[in-house]
Amino acid sequence: MKTIIKLLWLALVFIVPLGSFSSAWSQNQTQLEDFQLNDFTLRTLDGQEITLSKLTGKPVMVTFFLTTCSHCQAESAALNVVYNKYHESKEFQLIAIAPRMDSRENLVKFIDEYQITYPILHDQENQVIKLYGVIAVPHNIFIDREGRVKRVITGGVDLVTLEESLEELW
């Protein structure tokens, strides 16, 4: 019984505020103006190096995910749709970042199973995850062509929400 009470308490302390954090970041422009974009360079599974600052001038979405996260798995279909729809026509860049705890083998399986077409970067030292203070996944950051963060959403997003968020980047 004490264990259940502790778990409920932890849920109230950590999960409820996280939901509030998500909606605040996705709606409050004042907070977004203070959001600091930190540059990073990571490699894709095939060894291609991607640096965030080199993508300035293009709309960018950075998403942090885990292969075992059900919300991340569900979100991957919508991410594929928007990436394939806008990558060429609007120069849209989508960068998915997986933490150290995801093995290369799991990432390859995820790419195959969900037919991922966008680049997946493996943060093997969790440097970018720490840099951005990611504590829950999926965690999505929407960056316009000038390099300004327009929206941050923690938690799964559907295709409609993705489309609405991307409209702010064009």
Give the tens place of pLDDT for each residue, 110-137: 999 999 999 999 999 999 999 998 999 9
Closest CA to 60 of 85, 21, 86, 78: 86
| 109: containing domain | 2-167
Q: CATH no. for residue 74? A: 3.40.30.10
Question: How many Cα atoms within 13 Å fall on the side-chain side of residue 55?
Answer: 26
- What burial class does residue 16 get, using C-beta atoms within 10 Å of its C-beta: 0-12 exposed, 13-18 middle, 19+ buried? exposed
Q: Is the dihedral of CA 69, 141, 113, 66 positive or negative?
A: negative
Helix 159-167 to helix 70-86 angle (10° resolution) is: 50
Q: Would you call 64 helix, strand, or coil by DSSP?
A: strand
How confident is the prediction for the chain on average, in pLDDT? 85
Number of domains making up the chain: 1
Overall average pLDDT of the 4-14 stretch: 45
Instruction: Give me the pLDDT at residue 2, please.
Output: 58
Overall average pLDDT of the 128-154 stretch: 93
Overall average pLDDT of the 45-50 stretch: 95
